[in-house]
Amino acid sequence: MDQGKRRAGIAVVAVAALLLMAACTSKPGTTPNKTVTVVGSWSGAEQDSFLAMVAPFEKQSGYKVKYQGSRDLQAQLTTGIASGNLPDVAGLPGPGPMKEWYAKKALKPLNFLDFSAYSSATPPGFADLGKADDGKLIGVFTKAAVKGLIYYNTKDWKSGAPATWDALNTAAQAAATGQTKEWCIGIESGGASGWPGTDWLEDIVLRQAGPDVYDKWVKGTQTWSSPEIKKAWQTFGEALTNSYGGSKYVVNTAFNKAANPMFKKPPGCLLHHQASFITDFFKNEAHAAPADYDFFPFPDINPSYTGSVTGGGDLVGMFNDKPGARALLKYLLTPEAQAIWVKRGGFISANKGVAIDAYPDAASKKAADLLQKAKVFRFDGSDQMPGAMNDAFFKAVVSFAGDQGKLDSILSGLDKVQKDAYKK
């Protein structure tokens, strides 16, 4: 067993040598006052695009941007506030936590930005969402997403863009024959399962009951069991009934591959409702080519609210008021910076100064155009609700999709959460 001892010795020496070698070859750190640390939800290919976007800034200003993507911004920033160990600039999970962190004096006001210039460059409804209760700007949008787009397979859908919801349903019913259903819906998404359905409901409420009801609903003053909201669920329920695979498929299929049957031959469905980022998934999950799909905007339901658009976006805020952080935020808001990511794909700019021509393909050109020309724009409603309400909404969508017969008890359950969640 002496051999064993020798072997253990060799192992220790080997590990030591490995670590020493690694220690010697790694580069010394850069000086901290010329770096700007950034944490955001962008990772993978998005992270690469973000780094490409800040590369010119690093060259011009001499600052080094150190970026880290995070899967759970909320947990990382909440604990970061406790530890005092915060990034200079960070993506924010939503308007709710943003205001809370500003109240705790962790998030710094962005007084150095010209609000009116920023506001006029962004689509209506965006800029004000970044304000705190005291009216100070604390969060800005660089990246936007257009929601409520209805995608179709160009080979199978020949009815163009229907003007109204009824026209859409008539055309879809006529085309859906045999194996082919009207919709492809999948709402599974790990810890956030249900969110694709909340987007559906937001689109329906905005177009069916109008922006006023929408705003009251988001603020918690419109009950879930009210006729307007209930009707929206029933409308969504009709789409669920006419969807591929039935309720088991809907609740068990990940949203990212939900549209795959649309690209099969013969197609499993004709239409898929999703936000503009979904095209990345068409490519990755179904090997679809850009020519295979196109979209039209969610049609009007009630003609008095025509031209409504829902969307979302990524808020960015500042935790450490340093010259580097200010310079970076100013840079990120410029159309020149955003055009870099736009050209790389998968990015709808929140700045109207980015030319439509900069977008790399027809679908993203169309989505950006839709956002810039929107008459009524509303930000993602569930994202603005308090955390507990938002989560209950997600879960309600899942249980509704599983069994539509439970609608009344689901809505009264949501009413109960609403009473509790909006309390300060």
Partner 1 sequence: MTQVPVLSSTDVALKPPPPKPSKRRGKAGRPAGPVHAVLVLMMVLWAIPALGLLVASFRTAAETNKSGWWTALVPPYHFTFSNYDYVLNRAGFWDSFVNSLFITIPATVLVVMIAAFAAYAFAWMNFPMRNVLFVVVVGLLVVPLQVTLIPVLSLFRDFQFGDFRLNGTILAVWLAHTGYGLPFAVYLLRNYMGSLPREIFESASIDGAGPATAFFRIAVPMSVPALASLVIFQFLWVWNDLLVALVYLGPASENSPLSVTLANLTTNFGGNWQFVTAAAFVSMIVPIVVFLGLQRFFIRGITGGAVKG
Partner 2 sequence: MQIVSNLFANRLFLAIFVVFGVPLCLVGYILLVEIVVSRLGRKPAAAIRPWLWLGPALLFLGVFLLFPTISTIVSSFKDKAGVEWVGLDNYHWFFTTEGTLLALRNNVLWAVFLPLLVVTLGLVIAVLADRVKYERVVKTTIFLPMAISFVAAGVIWKLMYDIDPTTGTLNAVVNAFGQDPVAWLSTPSIDNFMLIFVGVWMLAGFAMVILSSGLKGISTELLEAARIDGCNEWQVFRKISLPLLRPTTAVVATTVVIFALKTFDIVYVMTSGNFNTQVIGYQMYKELFAYGDPARSATVAVVLLLATVPVMMVNVRRFRQQEAVR
Residues near partner 1, by CB under 8 A? 1, 4-5, 11, 15, 18-19, 22-23, 26, 29, 37-39, 41-47, 66-71, 75-76, 78-80, 82-87, 90, 189-190, 254-257, 260, 277, 280-281, 284-287
In the bound state with partner 2, the residue whose beta carbon lies nearer, of 22 and 117, is 22
In the bound state with partner 1, the residue whose beta carbon lies nearer, of 75 and 355, is 75
Minimum CB–partner distance for residue 4 and partner 1 (Å): 7
**Per-residue binding letters, 376-395, with partner 2 (x by CB under 8 A):** ----------xxx-xx--xx
In the bound state with partner 1, the residue whose beta carbon lies nearer, of 130 and 312, is 312
Beta strands in 196-344 (DSSP E): 269-274, 293-297, 308-318
- How many DSSP H helices and E strands does the chain contain? 17, 11
Query: Three-state SS string across 326-385, please?
Result: HHHHHHHCCHHHHHHHHHHCCCEECCCCCCHHHCCCHHHHHHHHHHHHCCEEEECHHHHC
DSSP secondary-structure letter at 34?
G
Minimum CB–partner distance for residue 193 and partner 2 (Å): 4
Q: What is the spatial distance between Cα 201 and Cα 414, in angstroms, rounded to a whole number?
A: 14
- What's the sign of the alpha-carbon dihedral 360, 365, 371, 373? positive
**Residues 77, 90 contacting (CB under 8 angstroms):** yes
Q: How far is CA 308 from the centre of its chain?
A: 18
By the rule CB under 8 A, 408 interacts with partner 2:
no
Minimum CB–partner distance for residue 280 and partner 2 (Å): 18
By the rule CB under 8 A, 43 interacts with partner 2:
no
Minimum CB–partner distance for residue 333 and partner 2 (Å): 28
By the rule CB under 8 A, 291 interacts with partner 2:
no
Minimum CB–partner distance for residue 395 and partner 1 (Å): 19
In the bound state with partner 1, the residue whose beta carbon lies nearer, of 256 and 418, is 256
Tell me if residue 322 falls in helix, strand or coil: coil
Beta bridge partners of 68: 39
**Per-residue binding letters, 295-324, with partner 2 (x by CB under 8 A):** ------------------------------
Q: In terms of residues, how long is the chain? A: 424
Q: What is the spatial distance between Cα 373 and Cα 291, in angstroms, rounded to a whole number?
A: 25
Torsion of CA 119, 97, 46, 109, to 10 degrees: 40
- Say which entry of partner 2, partner 1, none residue 386 contacts (CB below 5 to 8 A, set by partner kind): partner 2
Minimum CB–partner distance for residue 104 and partner 1 (Å): 12
Minimum CB–partner distance for residue 62 and partner 1 (Å): 18
Q: How far is CA 345 from the centre of its chain?
A: 15
By the rule CB under 8 A, 24 interacts with partner 2:
yes
| One residue of 16, 45, 163, 291 binding partner 2 per CB under 8 A | 16
Phi-psi region of 210 (alpha: psi -120 to 50; beta: other; left: phi over 0): left
Contact residues for partner 2 (CB under 8 A)?
12, 15-16, 19-20, 22-24, 26, 28-29, 72, 74-75, 78, 96-97, 100, 189-194, 245, 248-249, 251-254, 386-388, 390-391, 394-395, 398-399, 402, 421
